[in-house]
Amino acid sequence: MSQDFFAKHEATLKGALDAIATRGFWSAYPEAPSGRLYGETAAVDGEAAFKARLDKPFGLNQPATKAMIGAEMSPFGFALGITYPSPDIDGLMQAAQAALPAWRKAGPQARAGVCLEILHRLNRRSFEIAHAVQHTTGQAFVMAFQAGGPHAQDRGLEAVAYGYRAMAEVPAHSHWQKPQGKADPLRMDKDYHIVGQGVALMVGCSTFPTWNGYPGLFASLVTGNAVVLKPHPGAILPLAITAEIARDVLAEAGLPEDVVLLATDSAEAPLTKELALRPEVKIIDFTGSSAFGSWLEANARQARTYAEKAGINFIVIESVADIKAVTRNLAFSLSLYSGQMCTTPQNIFVPKAGIKAGDGHLSFDEVAAAIAGAVGKFNADPERAVEVLGAVQAQATCDRLEQARSLGKVLLESRSITHPAFANARVRTPLILAVEAKDAAVFTKELFGPISFVIAAESGRSAIEQATRSAKEHGALTAGVYSTDPAFLAAAEDLCIDAGVALSENLDGGVFVNQSAAFSDYHGTGANPAANAALCDSAFVAERFRVVQVRRHSA
Amino acid sequence: MSQDFFAKHEATLKGALDAIATRGFWSAYPEAPSGRLYGETAAVDGEAAFKARLDKPFGLNQPATKAMIGAEMSPFGFALGITYPSPDIDGLMQAAQAALPAWRKAGPQARAGVCLEILHRLNRRSFEIAHAVQHTTGQAFVMAFQAGGPHAQDRGLEAVAYGYRAMAEVPAHSHWQKPQGKADPLRMDKDYHIVGQGVALMVGCSTFPTWNGYPGLFASLVTGNAVVLKPHPGAILPLAITAEIARDVLAEAGLPEDVVLLATDSAEAPLTKELALRPEVKIIDFTGSSAFGSWLEANARQARTYAEKAGINFIVIESVADIKAVTRNLAFSLSLYSGQMCTTPQNIFVPKAGIKAGDGHLSFDEVAAAIAGAVGKFNADPERAVEVLGAVQAQATCDRLEQARSLGKVLLESRSITHPAFANARVRTPLILAVEAKDAAVFTKELFGPISFVIAAESGRSAIEQATRSAKEHGALTAGVYSTDPAFLAAAEDLCIDAGVALSENLDGGVFVNQSAAFSDYHGTGANPAANAALCDSAFVAERFRVVQVRRHSA
């Protein structure tokens, strides 16, 4: 049965394998929330499916359930009212362990087939998942559809492709024949068995439960591990739907459903530490705070942790051809999902003496005003603004926004916007502050949310030096540099490479520094404190399995 | 210049890349210490070169030398009298760091070319290295030549091939073109830069300084790291020669010599901990005790440690076709280098009710006596025996051998043999003891050296269960099973796969459980406590570099 899944999706896998070899544009799952692509009734059906989930227990038939819990609140202002299975951890681990031998023996092809079928079904359910992502993360609908649906599925498929390629590079058998001069050669037959590491724990985040979660989930699955999904208590539904689909596909393939298990907890009684310390857990994928990521690395020593933690992303504006194009681009980057992306720029460095702009010159204040003005204008129309800003996931972010006002000179106030469709939604526009280079104590902390600094630097050179020094010390996932000087760009490249931060140069069109495209852009590098791994490369999958050999004299 | 090295050795690299894809028999460097292969004067020249090293400072021109130290004693009974540079660690780290940018910018091809040229020159110096390995490790000459020379070089080349393949799988550039309906597509150009992690520390062992050291050295080098070689104080010379050759090649390639540095210490003033904790050190390769390996993993948290630690290897004899062929094979495995290989079997399980042997039956005592008898006979002729046994590297191993006598019923006494050529050599034959399955407290400790137990098990099934349980708990690098029953072999395979230990079945010819061939046999699995990595697979190289991308709108 599972071989059918492989055959059914072999062309998709082939496309993904080609894509990771060239890393040009490629996508398996259409990003437009369109009836033409997803079926005329898909939008209506998806919304209905989401609404049917509300205010009742989530029917996930899995073992070792101790209680049904859940207290998700939509950032758009209502309680989801869904409860999910919270596990007896001993029982959960037993179930996961028991599922491992059959999952290993199914082999790489069958496992890839199962993963591809799960992704296919997730894709067909993208509208339902979009609502689930919107009403847990606060992303506006179209973003929730794209980032939570097809883009996340592409990232999952990318992980399947890397895992499959890594396993395919290990021959299943070899014949070893060593010459012995005039005597008969020595002859051995050898089998190489791919063995998963054991149980993998995927710790989800509240802002991108699927986009940040699927790479680890699918990398672990395809390489032969069982996966426990531990969602953030505020964003359970997207991963619960994922677990439901995965378990269905496994059962249809005649494989143990318990290869994928959901472990729900609450903010009051978190389970992550206990799960992470279990000896059965050999792999942890985590997206979240630096403090907790470091705790995992320091304590869950029986496991390999792939952690994306906090970073402080930066922009350096040294010179521009067209300030309007630059600030239009930045306005979108700063506004998108109210700055709640791990890739949103926080620190914008501008030389205090101003910059060359086209044939003219702009003072620091003029550049700062241009940025603030562009962001203000971008969010002027509330109806349009909410479709980019979405809602703020956590009240703590609103509180932080409030407190941050005093950290610098306010260039643009954050406004609260009333959502036309959701009266109780937490909607906030970006806050932009001016500070000086010496105020590093203020801006070298991550201020998660729509909070940015325009920093008056000594010079372009000192700006890029300070920014990359901060990236080395505090981490950064993204960097943007604006310069019309090739020598400056070359120097910036060297410093960014040294700081291990992905660099975007002179983005002034329809590509944004905080967006990374699966199959082409690596998300994170693993080379600075913001993350110890990249989505997705060979290093992300290589240690999720081991090879055990058996050899004997040839018959 | 370095591009010439790549062109010069491209066919060798191609051969290695083909070999890792199929893992059949392949070797780049001839294992026979023959004048026909290495030049008619190679043997004499090599011995002369070794002797010319003795009793003087080793002329390694490297920075940050604080003192010249060294107290190597040949296990064959004389002092080497060579001193080596011991570093000022701050200066050493500065030198390594300073070498990194040029080494990164040289790129994968140039780095591979340098690695291949180093390996080529090491190969041409195999006779000199053989003497250096013999008189530090105690290996007999032919073994020192093969394991310390061509086999080690093959393992190094294997690491170069894995590293090169991993880097080659990352495209250097991509063009990303995303359709936008009727509008012009979005177009981006992207560069992907391979960046080493930083400084790598290779901590050498006293028994296989090159064989166990070259994989980490060359995996780190080819992927763009600088490498500090920290030899065991008892086996410095082989790695000093390696450093000398590496620095020569780097200089000829116009690259910084300090990409490879030697850090000599002494047993009285060890430097490994201080080196391992340096923030510059991002990779550690270690072969040695479980205690120190675990210390590195627990403390050198800024680095990724690839550790081969202690293991307790086992043999299970359930039934045999020909007991003589089996015990002849085991006699060599137990005698080779006096059991000082990390792959030597320690525990030999035999059912207490005896075994089926051909058409007959052998009691436990008969099997035990056959093993002891074969080992005794194998070492009966001292002149022949010393060419297999070699000498015992450390006095502690002789002491352990003395103390171990009381741990069971002596089946074969260890004898001290006078070496015909080296009167003061520490030569010992294997000690073999009989114990019962319940004496696990005795035999589940690693007793490094020529000490083996024949263990009376309840049954074949209980033997393989107990042995693999021990492998999961205490680690094991090798396992051997003898059985004429396909069902028993299948069950043993399952248990060994689960325990992450490489299995050899029914070895009764010219292949031995303690030998692993580069390009075909993985050494270690990383899946039990004996090692957290395998020599060599993709996981061994994948995290030694990172990818940093730079993107911009297409012109």
Residue range B189-216: mean pLDDT, rounded: 98
Strand partners, A482: A317
- pLDDT for A3 equals 56
Q: What is the pLDDT of residues B473-530, one digit of tens each?
A: 999 999 999 999 999 999 999 999 999 999 999 999 999 999 999 999 999 999 999 9
CA distance A411 to A428: 16
Looking at the structure, do residues A365 and A397 belong to the same domain, yes or no?
A: yes
Looking at the structure, do residues A130 and A7 belong to the same domain, yes or no?
A: yes
Alpha carbon of residue B146 to chain centroid: 13
Do A548 and B496 make contact, defined as CB atoms within 8 angstroms? yes
CA distance A77 to A136: 10
Burial (CB count within 10 angstroms: exposed 0-12, middle 13-18, buried 19+), residue B65:
middle
Angle between helices B323-335 and B364-378 (to 10 degrees): 50
Instruction: Name the phi and psi angles at B279, rounded to 5.
Output: -60, -25
Looking at the structure, do residues B420 and B298 belong to the same domain, yes or no?
A: no
Q: What share of chain A is helix, strand, coil (3-state, %, to 5)?
A: 45, 20, 35
Placement of tokens 């500090």 in the chain: B228
> Considering CB atoms only, which of A193, A511, A553 is closest to B506?
A553
Q: Decide if A300 contacts A284 (C-beta within 8 A).
A: yes
* Closest alpha carbon within chain A to B282: A527
Q: Is B51 on the interface with A (CB under 8 A)?
A: no
Q: Do the bridges between strand B502-505 and strand A545-553 make them parallel or antiparallel, or are there none, so unpaired?
A: parallel
Residue range B247-251: mean pLDDT, rounded: 98
CA distance B506 to B490: 13
Looking at the structure, do residues B235 and B247 belong to the same domain, yes or no?
A: yes
Tokens of B169: 């799988």
Whether residue A51 is contained in a domain is answered as: yes
Q: Which helix (H) or strand (E) holds A284?
A: strand A281-287
Q: Is B173 on the interface with A (CB under 8 A)?
A: no
Looking at the structure, do residues A102 and A132 belong to the same domain, yes or no?
A: yes
Instruction: Give yes or no for residue B8 having a pLDDT over 80.
Output: yes
B152 CA: distance to closest CA in chain A (Å): 17
Do A504 and B195 make contact, defined as CB atoms within 8 angstroms? no
- pLDDT for B169 equals 98
Do A171 and B22 make contact, defined as CB atoms within 8 angstroms? yes
Q: Is B44 on the interface with A (CB under 8 A)?
A: no
Q: Which amino acid is at B305?
A: T
CA distance A317 to A366: 13
Whole-Å CA distances, A40 to A33, A37, B216: 11, 8, 57
Whether residue A530 is contained in a domain is answered as: no
Whether residue A77 is contained in a domain is answered as: yes
Tokens of A217: 């989930």
Instruction: Give yes or no for residue B468 having a pLDDT over 80.
Output: yes
Q: What is the pLDDT of residues A124-140, one digit of tens each?
A: 999 999 999 999 999 99
Contacts of B259 (CB under 8 A, 6+ apart): B96, B99, B103, B221, B226, B227, B246, B250
- pLDDT for B481 equals 98
Whether residue B298 is contained in a domain is answered as: yes
Looking at the structure, do residues B304 and B319 belong to the same domain, yes or no?
A: no
Q: Which helix (H) or strand (E) holds B316?
A: strand B313-317
Looking at the structure, do residues B457 and B445 belong to the same domain, yes or no?
A: yes
Residue range B268-278: mean pLDDT, rounded: 98
**Quick one: which of B131, B114, B155 has its CA closest to B28?**
B155
CA distance B329 to B404: 24
Q: Is B328 on the interface with A (CB under 8 A)?
A: no
CA distance B211 to B204: 10
Q: Is B298 left (phi over 0), alpha (psi -120 to 50) or beta?
A: alpha
- Please give the tally of structural domains in chain A: 2
Looking at the structure, do residues A301 and A327 belong to the same domain, yes or no?
A: no
Q: What percent of chain B has pLDDT over 90?
A: 98
- pLDDT for A223 equals 98
Whether residue A175 is contained in a domain is answered as: no
Angle between helices A323-335 and A382-389 (to 10 degrees): 70
Instruction: Give yes or no for residue B441 having a pLDDT over 60.
Output: yes
**What b-and-e string marks burial along A51-75, b requiring 16 or more CB atoms within 10 Å of the CB?**
eebbeeebebebbbbeeebbebbbb
Instruction: Name the phi and psi angles at A415, rounded to 5.
Output: -115, 150
Looking at the structure, do residues B499 and B544 belong to the same domain, yes or no?
A: no
> Considering CB atoms only, which of A496, A506, A546 is closest to B526?
A546
Looking at the structure, do residues B10 and B151 belong to the same domain, yes or no?
A: yes
Q: Decide if B514 contacts B343 (C-beta within 8 A).
A: yes
Contacts of B214 (CB under 8 A, 6+ apart): B152, B153, B155, B156, B159, B242
- pLDDT for B183 equals 94
Do B551 and A504 make contact, defined as CB atoms within 8 angstroms? yes
Whether residue B521 is contained in a domain is answered as: no
Chain B stretch 96-135, residues whose beta carbon is closer than 8 A to a beta carbon of chain A? 101, 104
Looking at the structure, do residues B300 and B318 belong to the same domain, yes or no?
A: no
Q: Which helix (H) or strand (E) holds A479?
A: strand A478-482
Whether residue B13 is contained in a domain is answered as: yes
Q: Decide if A295 contacts A277 (C-beta within 8 A).
A: no
Burial (CB count within 10 angstroms: exposed 0-12, middle 13-18, buried 19+), residue A119:
buried
Residue range B228-252: mean pLDDT, rounded: 98
Q: Is A174 on the interface with B (CB under 8 A)?
A: yes
Averaged pLDDT of chain A: 97
Placement of tokens 């993107």 in the chain: B551
Tokens of A517: 């495209």
Q: What is the pLDDT of residues B20-36, one digit of tens each?
A: 999 999 999 999 999 99
Contacts of A458 (CB under 8 A, 6+ apart): A351, A352, A437
Q: Is A171 on the interface with B (CB under 8 A)?
A: yes
CATH number for position B139:
3.40.605.10
Tokens of B256: 């910084």
Q: Which amino acid is at B228?
A: V
Q: What is the pLDDT of residues B118-159, one digit of tens each?
A: 999 999 999 999 999 999 999 999 999 999 999 999 999 999
CA distance B16 to B162: 9
Burial (CB count within 10 angstroms: exposed 0-12, middle 13-18, buried 19+), residue A279:
exposed
Instruction: Give yes or no for residue B196 having a pLDDT over 70.
Output: yes
CATH number for position B335:
3.40.309.10
pLDDT tens by residue, chain A, 555 residues: 445 999 999 999 999 999 999 999 999 999 999 999 999 999 999 999 999 999 999 989 899 999 999 999 999 999 999 999 999 999 999 999 999 999 999 999 999 999 999 999 999 999 999 999 999 999 999 999 999 999 999 999 999 999 999 999 999 999 999 999 999 999 999 999 999 999 999 999 999 999 999 999 999 999 999 999 999 999 999 999 999 999 999 999 999 999 999 999 999 999 999 999 999 999 999 999 999 999 999 999 999 999 999 899 999 999 999 999 999 999 999 999 999 999 999 999 999 999 999 999 999 999 999 999 999 999 999 999 999 999 999 999 999 999 999 999 999 999 999 999 999 999 999 999 999 999 999 999 999 999 999 999 999 999 999 999 999 999 999 999 999 999 999 999 999 999 999 999 999 999 999 999 999 999 999 999 999 999 999 999 999 999 999 999 998
Strand partners, B285: B202, B306
Whether residue B15 is contained in a domain is answered as: yes
ipTM, two decimals: 0.97
**Quick one: which of A275, A342, A314 has its CA closest to A468?**
A314
* Closest alpha carbon within chain B to A27: B178
Q: What is the pLDDT of residues A206-228, one digit of tens each?
A: 999 999 999 999 999 999 999 99
Q: Decide if A188 contacts A552 (C-beta within 8 A).
A: yes
CA distance B390 to B367: 27
Q: A511: which chain B residues are within 8 Å (Cβ-Cβ)?
A: 186, 188, 551, 553
Q: Decide if A258 contacts A99 (C-beta within 8 A).
A: yes
Strand partners, A528: A531
Q: What is the domain range of residue B436?
A: 313-505
Instruction: Name the phi and psi angles at B198, rounded to 5.
Output: 145, -130
Q: Is B439 on the interface with A (CB under 8 A)?
A: no
Q: A506: which chain B residues are within 8 Å (Cβ-Cβ)?
A: 552-553
Q: Within B85-149, where are the H helices?
A: 89-124, 126-137, 141-148
Contacts of A184 (CB under 8 A, 6+ apart): none
Residue range B465-476: mean pLDDT, rounded: 98
CA distance A453 to A445: 11
Tokens of B447: 């007793």
Looking at the structure, do residues B410 and B325 belong to the same domain, yes or no?
A: yes
